[in-house]
Amino acid sequence: MSVCDSQPATDFFAERKQMVEEQLAAPGRDIKNQRVLNVMATVPRHEFVPKALERFAYVDGPLPIGYGQTISQPFIVAFMTEQLDPKPTDRVLEIGTGSGYQAAVLSRLVAEVYTIEIIEPLARRAEADLKRLGYNNVKVLAGDGYQGWPDHAPFDAIIVTCAPDHIPQPLVEQLRDGGRMVIPVGALENQQLYLLQKHGMKVEQQAILPVRFVPMRRSP
Ligand code: SAH
């Protein structure tokens, strides 16, 4: 039996490779970070979508994951991850766990991932999926990510995958000096992804891409 024959047909290995080449590294998409590309070629995205949608897991778009939420388009995951400039020693906070896919991608690039999801059953499901698949350096919290996770602050990087109408001050405070935050801000029709860099008391921010994330909810 050759090495190829031993690859289970359901692993979607070829689909993932094609996703990386055509949706991420291709001219016009221009994801350059080789560590990010390598990780996106290995993390099994199909394990993070509903079974009925498994065969669409590697298409160039978002997919529904239940509870009115979505798993982001692969390109958006890669773009935001590249903008964070993840280092192997980093401790990263994610707001909006959703399926857990973005957390899984980060988990292979950094030391520790902390992720917060406001919809409790989604948080529990992502936690179980991440554990089942061996992403052991990810901690999941069910709660309102607007407040961050002060017990584990400061973070080297913060990634927000739901859109508030302003940048939450608690998150700025929980970012270490020199740290980076990637966050979508604004209503659906007029939303921009921002890259923030903290330098002492100063926060530098720039809009880097028009995007469409679900709104950040606030706990009652
Ligand atoms: N990163 C996810 C996709 C995020 S979808 C993935 O890889 O699949 C956005 C998620 O943000 C949704 O699951 C939504 O419930 C969650 N969310 C919305 N407001 C939130 C808040 N205040 N705190 C934490 N999570 C929130």
CA of 149 to the centre of ligand 1 (A): 15
Nearest CA residue ID for atom 10, ligand 1: 96
Question: How far, in Å, from the CA of 143 to the mean position of ligand 1?
Answer: 10
What is the number of domains present in the chain? 1
**Residue 10: inside a domain, yes or no?**
no
Backbone angles phi, psi at 188, to 5 degrees: -50, -45
Pocket test for ligand 1, best of 65, 69, 129, 166 (most atoms within 8 A of CB): 69
Note whether residue 3 is domain-resident. Answer: no
pLDDT < 50 positions in the chain: 1-2
d(CA 106, CA 112): 9
* Strands, sheet with 175-185, edge to edge from the N-terminal-most edge strand: 138-142, 112-117, 91-95, 155-160, 175-185, 191-199, 202-211
Residue 72 known to be catalytic: yes
Q: What pLDDT does 167 receive?
A: 97
Return the C-alpha torsion angle 76, 78, 81, 86, nearest 10: 180
Q: Which residue has the tokens 């999926």?
A: 129
Residue 19: inside a domain: no
pLDDT at 4: 54
What pLDDT does 14 receive? 96
Residue 72 Cα to ligand 1 midpoint, Å, equals: 10
pLDDT of residue 1: 45
Distance CA(37)–CA(22), nearest Å, equals: 12
**Domain that residue 133 falls in:** 61-211
pLDDT confidence of residue 5: 54
pTM of the model: 0.95
- Residue 4, domain member (yes or no): no
Q: Please tell me the predicted confidence (pLDDT) of residue 218.
A: 87
List the helix and strand counts (H, then E) for the chain. Answer: 6, 9
User: How many other C-beta atoms lie within 10 A of the C-beta of residue 21?
Assistant: 13
Would 2 be classed as within a structural domain? no
Give the model's pLDDT for residue 193. 98
CA-based torsion, 198, 176, 37, 57: positive or negative: negative
pLDDT given for residue 182 in this prediction: 98
Tell which one of 46, 79, 217, 219 to mutate to probe ligand 1, the residue whose CB is within 8 A of the most ligand atoms. Answer: 217
Out of 161, 166, 167, 219, mutate this one to test ligand 1's pocket (max ligand atoms within 8 Å of CB): namely 161
pLDDT recorded at residue 219: 79
Examine residue 180 and state whether it is found in any structural domain, yes or no.
yes
Question: In angstroms, what is the span from residue 33 Cα to ligand 1's centroid?
Answer: 25
CATH code of the domain in which 175 resides: 3.40.50.150
Q: Which atom of ligand 1 lies nearest, measured to the CA of 145?
A: 23
Q: According to the model, what pLDDT value does residue 220 have? A: 61
pLDDT value of position 216: 97
